[in-house]
Amino acid sequence: MSRVVRDPVLAYIGLGANLGDAVATIQRSIAAIGALPQVDLLRRSSLYRSAPVESSGPDYVNAVVCVSTTRDAYALLDGLRELERAAFRERAYRNAPRTLDLDVLLFGDGHIESPTLTVPHPRMAQRAFVLMPLAEIAPKRVDAAQLRTVTDQECERLG
């Protein structure tokens, strides 16, 4: 059963995939996130292609979505993990290539430190594939200095 918060919270979710038809997986996953109970999809970024960071395998396809939710952060994470399982996500080792990766980047203005969830996402400020799509849909959440720190990372907007 989903845990519910009283007022809707804006949450930002990062999506990534580099196995199979990554573009189709990301597009389906965006729709699936919006179909989760107590979750309304508000905005979605363009798709971005990025080289693996601290990983191997093919290039990733990435995006960020903004949702409004009355779920708490852990219930939102539970829903995202179910979507990963449905996409046959395996966690063979840290940063392994994947069919789908879904991360809670921001949950309102909350700060969460637990064994299962850290918000804001601990490495988001170091990743062009997070900052560029996040800046596209929430420019006030990313400043120019943050973007300058990731200019050496290969990340391009698709289409």
Please tell me which residue in 103, 109, 152, 157 is annotated as part of the active site: 103
**pTM of the entire predicted model:** 0.92
Active site residue 148: no
Instruction: Please state whether beta strands 112-113 and 118-119 pair in parallel, antiparallel, or not at all (unpaired).
Output: antiparallel
Q: Is residue 123 flagged as an active site residue?
A: no
Which contacts qualify for 148-152: CB closer than 8 Å, 24 or more apart?
149/125, 150/126
Q: What is the pLDDT of residues 72-103, one digit of tens each?
A: 999 999 999 999 988 766 656 566 568 899 99
Residue with tokens 């979710």: 13
- 4-153 — its CATH code? 3.30.70.560
Spans of all domains in the chain? 4-153
98 is catalytic: yes
Q: Which residue has the tokens 């996953």?
A: 29
pLDDT surpasses 70 at 152? yes
**Does the active-site annotation cover 72?**
no
Average pLDDT estimate for 55-80:
94
The one catalytic residue in 49, 71, 98, 141 is 98
Cα 47 to Cα 38, 96, 105, 149: the distances in Å are 25, 21, 17, 21
Mean pLDDT of 124-151: 95
The pLDDT value given to residue 1 = 47
Catalytic: which of 101, 123, 141, 143?
101
